[in-house]
Structure 1
Amino acid sequence: MTDKEILLRIGARLRDLRKEKGLTQEALGEKGGFHFSYIGQIERGEKNVALLNLAKIAEALEVDISQLFTYTSVGSNEESEADLQEIMHMLEQQNPQQIAMAKNVLKAIFNNK
């Protein structure tokens, strides 16, 4: 993967998360302490954003920074991606015992040992 492809993927993911949260570039910029044009440059893959700035943006989006690196495949099913995001959100709110229980249920459903 080229540098440009990485920047474009991060930018696209940022844009997707921002839109999921119903935020404009300006609103996200305000929440994170950035100018809206900087957010736009990141989304277009024009800026090589610093890791600490990505952490601030993730915090403003109220997501874990790892979600900025969760790429969706080209041509992936958007409905499936939304379902996975919803499942992740539900799991993030559970305690370790409940997460382990959910894991066991999934293993049983998919016959994985």
Structure 2
Amino acid sequence: MTSILKLVGAKIRDLRRQKGWSQELLGEKAGVKFSYIGSVERGEQNITLLNLEKIAEALEVKVHHFFSYSREIKGIDISKESTIHELLEMMLRMDQSDLKKIRNIIKEFN
């Protein structure tokens, strides 16, 4: 199973890259060293809650956003996570007959 440190680190990296920021810039905005950001993103650093909060504030997201990766789905490519969540949100709004159609379409790809 993928480590929670790697999952949170990957999420931080994704959010930082979406903003077009370097590790140095995120570190500056969060008040931590850029080398710390790098080690967190690689899942090497056991980040404290206080530093997680600083990084969340710098990235303008809520702390819980860092935990949106699903650890229950084994073997998932982390870069696919946001697309999967988006699809799940769309499917939650569908009725049962539409869900069955979607299931049949997905089966065609397997």
Give the TM-score range, shorter chain. 0.5 to 0.7
Query: Could you say which residue in structure 1 is the equivalent of 2:32?
Result: 34
Kindly report structure 1 stretches of 4+ aligned residues shifted beyond 3 Å. 75-80
CA deviation profile, 1:32-72 (whole Å, cap 9, x unmatched): 00110000000011110001110110000011111111116
Q: Using the alignment, how far apart are the partners of 1:7 and 1:76 within structure 2?
A: 13
Q: What 5-or-longer segments of structure 1 have no aligned partner?
A: 89-105
Which residue is equivalent to 2:95? 111
Pairwise CA distance, 1:21: 1.2
Partner in structure 2 of residue 98 of structure 1: none
1:47-62 aligned within 5 A: 47-62=45-60
Q: 1:14 aligns with which of 12, 15, 36?
A: 12
Task: Tell me the amino acid that sits aligned with residue 7 of structure 1.
Answer: L
* Aligned residue identity for 2:59: L
Kindly indicate whether structure 1 or structure 2 has the higher relative contact order, using CA contacts under 8 Å at least 6 residues apart.
Answer: 2
Structure 2 gaps, min length 5: 97-110
Displacement of 1:76 = 6.9
Distance 1:62 1:82, change over 3 A: farther
Q: 1:75 to 1:26 in 2, by over 3 A?
A: same
